[in-house]
Amino acid sequence: MIGCLLVAFALVGCAHDATRSPSSAVSQRDVADRFAAALFRGDAKGARAYLLHPNETALVYLVQRAARPWVGQHASLGLAARRSGTTWTIHYAGTRTHKDGRFERERGDLVVYFASTGAAPTVRYFMFTNVVTRFSTHHDSQLPPSKR
């Protein structure tokens, strides 16, 4: 009787764990969201942690290049990531200010490609699409629309 009870508890525990383990899509979405958040915080080291090959020179350069303009700046992300075929897309919009009063408003999409390995999802590659940047100065923002 006790043996049957233990087997029943073990089966319930296994079924419970199976329902709690995230699907591949949910895990990829979570990693895509975290990768994007790290990039737009300007945290290149944090973003590298999600790469399939975090020491691959070309990808390290691309991550640093993508994160550098956002250090100390503000960007908002359209989380959660949207799946589009085999990629995940995150919409972003942000403003980067410069010491001399210039500022840039940028919006676009970050597209994340994942490695097709059996392990935890890792980023194989990423790219920016639909990027629109508007350059302006503090003086321009003070002008009425008819003078711009």
- pLDDT averaged per 10 residues in sequence order, the chain, 148 residues: 44 41 72 95 95 93 95 88 90 89 90 83 94 77 54
Going from N- to C-terminal start, the domains of the chain cover 23-147
What local confidence, expressed as pLDDT, does residue 78 receive?
87
What local confidence, expressed as pLDDT, does residue 83 receive?
92
Q: How many residues does the chain have?
A: 148
What local confidence, expressed as pLDDT, does residue 22 receive?
53
What local confidence, expressed as pLDDT, does residue 5 receive?
40
The overall pTM is greater than 0.85: no
What local confidence, expressed as pLDDT, does residue 13 receive?
44
Nearest alpha carbon to residue 32 among 132, 142, 126: 126
The topology under which CATH files domain 23-147 is: Nuclear Transport Factor 2; Chain: A, (3.10.450)
Compute the distance between CA of residue 115 and CA of residue 131 in angstroms, rounded to an integer.
Answer: 25
